[in-house]
Amino acid sequence: MSVKIITSFVEELEARVKIEDTLKRGMRGIDRKDWKLARTLYHEGGYDDHGFFKGPGDELMPVLAKMHEHQDHSMHVISNIIIEFQARGRALVESYILSLQRFQPSEPAVPADHFGLQKIVSARCLDRFEERHGEWRVVHRTVVFGDVLSLPMSEPHRCPPGFVEQRHSMEDPLYSLRSE
């Protein structure tokens, strides 16, 4: 339940939209390897605890970039976003994440006789958001993991002919549409 801190309904709605947009842009940045965009999830000095990484959000980006080098596909689905305002300009945000990723055979974790590895990860992000200069961003994130499933691929990935396939890069069709 949200504590009523914000002065008007419109102000609260605006804050909620900004927080959700920030979360979604962060996921888009990761999935498209747009590390500059992904970095906008955090305020300067924002902290991230991903388990395998604990430190400033801007230092997380090169770690994620390295991890995504051997991926063909990444999709983070974000849902169940609950925003609890704790004070003016501060909110606790819980969101569910479902991550679908496909790793190339060159990834060390892929068994030698397989064509890749699919990973399905469920997690929740527990974020403290703050508003600074009109921007709602994360100042502290803890990722709480659920399942991590690894599925070796016995045959190569193929999309049906004529399908537009997403790219795990800034060469994704989204970026060409945005530049038109």
Computed over every residue of the chain, the mean pLDDT equals 93
Domain ranges of the chain: 9-156
The amino acid at residue 127 is: D
Whether the pLDDT of residue 63 is over 60: the answer is yes
Residues of the chain above pLDDT 70, percent: 96
- For residues 114 and 154, is the Cβ–Cβ distance under 8 A? yes
Of the ranges 19-23, 87-91, 175-179, which is most confident?
A: 19-23
pTM, entire model:
0.90
State the pLDDT at residue 29: 97
Tens-digit pLDDT profile for residues 5-45: 656 888 999 999 999 999 999 999 999 999 999 999 999 99
| Record: fold of 9-156 | Nuclear Transport Factor 2; Chain: A, (3.10.450)
Tens-digit pLDDT profile for residues 124-139: 999 999 999 999 999 9
Whether the pLDDT of residue 2 is over 90: the answer is no
- For residues 137 and 22, is the Cβ–Cβ distance under 8 A? yes
Burial of 80 (0-12, 13-18, 19+ CB in 10 A): exposed
- For residues 103 and 110, is the Cβ–Cβ distance under 8 A? yes
